[in-house]
Structure 1
C-alpha cells in the first residue's frame, strides 16, 4: 500500500470484521406489546313467588316452596315458613337445587304489592355475592324476618303475599383473545447513509484537498461539524483564504480517505484490500490523523483496536505511539500488558523497545523495568 513511514509495522492484530462499521450504530431492542381484556359476566334473574290464601298457610304453620326457576342455567327455589311456635318470626330462603352444583351469586328478597307492575316494594333481605354449593351447607341462604313486615296492609292485600327474588349470578369472566397493541414502526435513522452517499456522489462538494498529489473532494460543512480543526481551517481565522486545493502534508491519501469515510459514515472503512500487517499500520496512521484533527471518537476507536491486538512484538511500538499522541488509556493498557504477561525480557529485545527508550520519557522505562524486577524477585 506504500504508507509505511515513521510508524513501524504492527503484526498479530485481530482480523477485520464488519463489526468495526456496525459497532457505532444504535440498535433498538426488539419489543412487542399485546393486549387482552378480562370482563366480568353476570346474568340477572327475577322470580315472583305469589302466595295465595296467605292466612290459610299461616294457620297451618308449615313451610311452603316455590317451583324451580332458572337463572344462568342453574335451578333455584324459594322457601317461606314460620320460625318456632311463637309465630311472629318467619324464615325466607333461597336454595340452589341439583347435585354437585356450585355457583357464585348475590340476591335480594322483597315483599311486593303488584299493581300492574308499578306497585311499591320493601326489601326484607339483601346479600352480597357469595358461593352456593349443593354439597355444603352453603346450598341455601336464609333470612329471619318479623312477620309483621309481610302482613302490613301495604303488602298483604286480598289475602295474597308476593315475594320478589332478584338474583345476580356470576359466571367465568370473559377474556378476549390477545391482540397486538396498535403501533407505528419508526425505522432506524439512516442519516449516516445519506451522508455517506454525499461522499460517494460528490454532489455539492465545495472543498478540495491535495494529499500526496491526489485530489480529494468534500463538503466544508460536514467536515466542520465533525472536527474543530477542520472548522478552524475552513471557517476560522486560520482558513486558507480561498486557495484551492488545500495541501495536506504528512498524510497518505489512503489514510485521508479513511478519515473522510469516518466523518461521513461514522464508521471505519472495511479495508478489505489490506493484509493484516498493513491493516494494523493503517490503524496507527488513522490514530495519528484523528489526533491531528481532534476527532476523539475515531481516536478512541483506533485505541480500542490496537489494545485488542497487543502482542509482545508490537506493544513497545504501540506504547510509543500512545505516549506521543496523549492516549493515556492505551498507554496504561500497554504497560499492564507487559506486567501481566511477564515478558519484559522478550519486549526489551524488540526494535520497538529500543525506539521507545529514545523517544519516551525515561520514567516510563524505569517504571517498566522496576516492575519487571519485582515480579522476578
Structure 2
C-alpha cells in the first residue's frame, strides 16, 4: 500500500481519536509571612501544647495563621521519622475556620527561622496536602530543637522571627470541548525555500560578488526586493539577465542578505553577527530595500553602542536615513564629558567628520 493510501484510508488497528476533551489546570498562589516574637525570653517556657499565634494573612482567597508552641507538643502521633519530645518546639500553619461552611484547601508549606542576616534557615517543607479548618494538631510537631531558639544566630535583641511560605493549589477543570478533526501542520515554507537556495535547483540567475558566484531564483529575488525586481524584470533590466554583478560588497555580507531574502531570518538568528558585520548588513539591506532586515540591523546596533563604534554607526545612520539609530548615537555620545572625549579620540570620529559637515554634527550634540 502506497503512502497516500496509508495516510487517507481508515485502519482498524489504529487508535481512535477522542471526540471530546477537557483539561485540568493546576493554578497556585504563594505568600510569604513573617511572624516576629518580641521578648521571646518571656514566652520560651510556656507549657507543652500552649501556643502563641500570628495575625491572619490571606492566600488563595483563604485566611491563615501561624501557631507556635515554644514548649513543644505532647502527642506521640507523629509521622514516621518525625522528631518529638520536650526538646523540640512545634509549629503549625492553620486554616481559619469559617462560621457556616466546611473549608478544605490543598496547600504546600515551607517554614523556617530567619537568622540575623535575614536568611531563612532550618526550613521544613510539607507535602502538598489538604488542610481542614477544624484541624488542631501541629503541621510540624518537631519544628526545631529548642536550644537553637536561644542561639545568637536566630535570637536578635530577644526577638525571634518565623517565616512561612504558603502556596495554595487550586485545580481548575475546564469545560469539555469537541476535538479538532486533525492537528494543523506547522508551516514549513521557509524551510523549503532555504533548501531551494542551498541545492540550487531551478536557479536561473548567477550573482557575482567579489569573486564568488551565488546561484539564485529571479522570481524570489524580485518578490523580496524592489531593487532586484527593477534590475531583473523592470526598466533597469540588464541585457544578460542571467548574470548580475554586485560591486562594493563583501561576499560574506551578501550571503547573509541572500539568506534573509529566502528565509526571513539570519543563520543562528544573527547571534554570530558582530557590530562591524551588522553595519555592513544595514548598508546592504538599504541598498536593496529589504526593509525588515534594515530595521533588524538598526535595532541591534542601537543595543550595541560603545565608544569604539558609535561614531561609525552615527555616520551610517546619517547616510542611510535611520533616525532612531541616529538619536541613540547622539544620546550615547553626549551622556557624559568622558564618553564624548573618548569618542572624539577614535578613528571612527575622524571618519564621521569627513562624511558629515562639522556644523551639522555640533548642532546634534548638546
TM-score (norm 2): 0.49
Q: Select the structure of larger CA radius of gyration.
A: 1
Larger relative contact order (CA 8 Å, sep ≥ 6): 1
TM-score (norm 1): 0.48
